[in-house]
């Protein structure tokens, strides 16, 4: 019981520290999705020592993720060559599904990777188009 309460309080506290990234314009991630996704990425990253979300969340990586999601032909394989590990999740709309359920599905799919992924910082983005929910998080392995 106390363990569950501690996690809930920790995730709630982290959600208030999610950076808004206002300078990204059209590349800015939908804030309600960001507030749901980003703290949970950290929760599933047990080896990360995080003082605050703003210390590990990178708005430039959020912008890069948006650019990739906007162009389905943009390759993501090159990210690994520059020290960035991408996690992608796409799921079709299924009628009554909502964004929170889709975000939960993405996190469940990514959980096995996040538990073993060591990173310096990260940024994510999400779009919904053509009846598809598309998520992309980019994790930088070391400082630039």
Instruction: Convert the pLDDT of each residue in 55-70 to its tens digit.
Output: 899 999 999 999 999 9
Number of structural domains the chain divides into? 1
What CA–CA distance (Å, rounded) separates 8 from 21?
Answer: 25
User: What does the mean pLDDT of the chain come to?
Assistant: 84
* DSSP 8-state symbol, 57: B
Q: Which residue has the higher pLDDT, 133 or 96?
A: 133
The answer to whether 136 touches 88, Cβ cutoff 8 Å, is yes
Structure tokens, 25: 């314009």
How far, in Å, CA of 42 to CA of 91, rounded? Answer: 22
User: Which segment of 10-14, 77-81, 87-91, 105-109 scores lowest on mean pLDDT?
Assistant: 10-14
Residue 5: pLDDT band with limits 50, 70, 90 = very low
Residue identified by tokens 């520290």 is 17
pLDDT at 10 over 60: no
Residue-range definition of the domain harbouring residue 99: 2-19+27-140
Phi, psi of 8 (to 5 degrees): -60, -45
pTM (2 decimals)?
A: 0.84
CATH assignment at residue 75: 3.40.33.10
């Amino acid at each position: 019981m106390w363990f569950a309460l501690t996690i809930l309080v920790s995730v709630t506290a982290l959600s208030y520290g999610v950076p808004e990234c206002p300078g990204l314009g059209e590349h800015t991630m939908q804030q309600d999705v960001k507030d749901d996704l980003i703290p949970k990425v950290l929760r599933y990253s047990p080896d990360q020592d995080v003082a605050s979300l703003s210390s590990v969340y990178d708005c430039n990586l959020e912008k890069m993720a948006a650019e990739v999601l906007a162009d389905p032909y943009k390759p993501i394989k090159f990210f690994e060559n520059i020290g960035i590990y991408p996690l992608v999740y796409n799921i079709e709309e299924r009628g009554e599904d909502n964004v929170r359920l889709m975000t939960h599905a993405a996190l469940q799919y990514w959980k096995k990777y996040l538990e073993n992924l060591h990173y310096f910082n990260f940024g994510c983005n999400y779009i919904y188009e053509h009846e598809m929910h598309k998520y992309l998080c980019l994790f930088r392995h070391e400082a630039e």
